[in-house]
Amino acid sequence: MQKIKSGIKGLDDLLGDGIPKGKCILLVGGPGSGKTIFAIQFLVEGAKFDEAGLYISLDEKPDEVKEEMMSFGWDLESLEREGKLFFIDATPLRKADRSEKNIPIKTGVLDLKIPEVTLHSIIDTATELVSEEKIKRIAVDPITALILRYDVPSERRMAVLGFFDALSATGCTSIITSELRATQLNRDIQPEEFLAQGVIVLHTINHEGTIIKAIQIEKMRGIKHDVQLRPYVINNKGIEVFPKDRTF
Which of positions 62-81 make contact with a copy of itself (CB under 8 A)? 64, 67-71
Q: How far apart are CA 115 and CA 90, in angstroms?
A: 12
Q: Among 21, 77, 195, 242, which residue interacts with a copy of itself (rule: CB under 8 A)?
A: 195
**What CA–CA distance (Å, rounded) separates 162 from 23?**
14
Answer yes or no whether residue 125 interacts with a copy of itself by CB under 8 A: no
Q: Note whether 179 binds a copy of itself by CB under 8 A.
A: yes
Q: Which of 77, 80, 193, 240 touches a copy of itself by CB under 8 A?
A: 193
Q: How many residues does the chain have?
A: 248
* Distance of alpha carbon 194 from alpha carbon 219, whole angstroms: 9
How many Cβ atoms sit within 10 Å of the Cβ of residue 110?
A: 9
Q: Compare residues 48 and 189 and give the one whose CB is closer to a copy of itself.
A: 189
Q: Does 103 bind a copy of itself (CB under 8 A)?
A: no
181 binds a copy of itself (CB under 8 A): yes
How far apart, in whole angstroms, are the C-alpha atoms of residue 94 and residue 62? 12
Using DSSP bridges, classify how beta strands 52-57 and 85-89 pair: parallel, antiparallel or unpaired.
parallel
- Residue of 81, 106, 134, 237 that binds a copy of itself (CB under 8 A): 106
Burial of residue 55 (CB within 10 Å: 0-12, 13-18, 19+) is buried
Q: Which is nearer to a copy of itself, 80 or 193 (CB)?
A: 193
Q: Which is nearer to a copy of itself, 5 or 157 (CB)?
A: 157
Rule CB under 8 A: which of 134-163 touch a copy of itself? Answer: 142, 144-145, 148-149, 151, 153-155, 157-159, 161-163
Cβ 20 to a copy of itself shortest distance, Å: 9
| CA angle in degrees (0–180, nearest 5) for 124-42-182 | 90
248 touches a copy of itself by CB under 8 A: yes
Least distance in angstroms from the C-beta of 121 to a copy of itself: 10
Query: Are the CB atoms for 178 and 12 separated by under 8 Å?
Result: no
Contact 62, 93 (CB under 8 A): no
Of the pair 49, 216, the CB lying nearest a copy of itself is at 216
Q: Give the separation between CA 133 and CA 85, rounded to whole angstroms.
A: 10
Q: Which is nearer to a copy of itself, 119 or 133 (CB)?
A: 119
DSSP state at residue 104: I
Q: Which one among 83, 169, 171, 237 touches a copy of itself, defined by CB under 8 A? A: 169
Q: Out of 3, 21, 104, 125, which residue is the one contacting a copy of itself (CB under 8 A)?
A: 104
The CA distance from 208 to 210, in Å, is 6
**For residues 213-232, which are near a copy of itself according to CB under 8 A?**
213, 216-224, 227-229
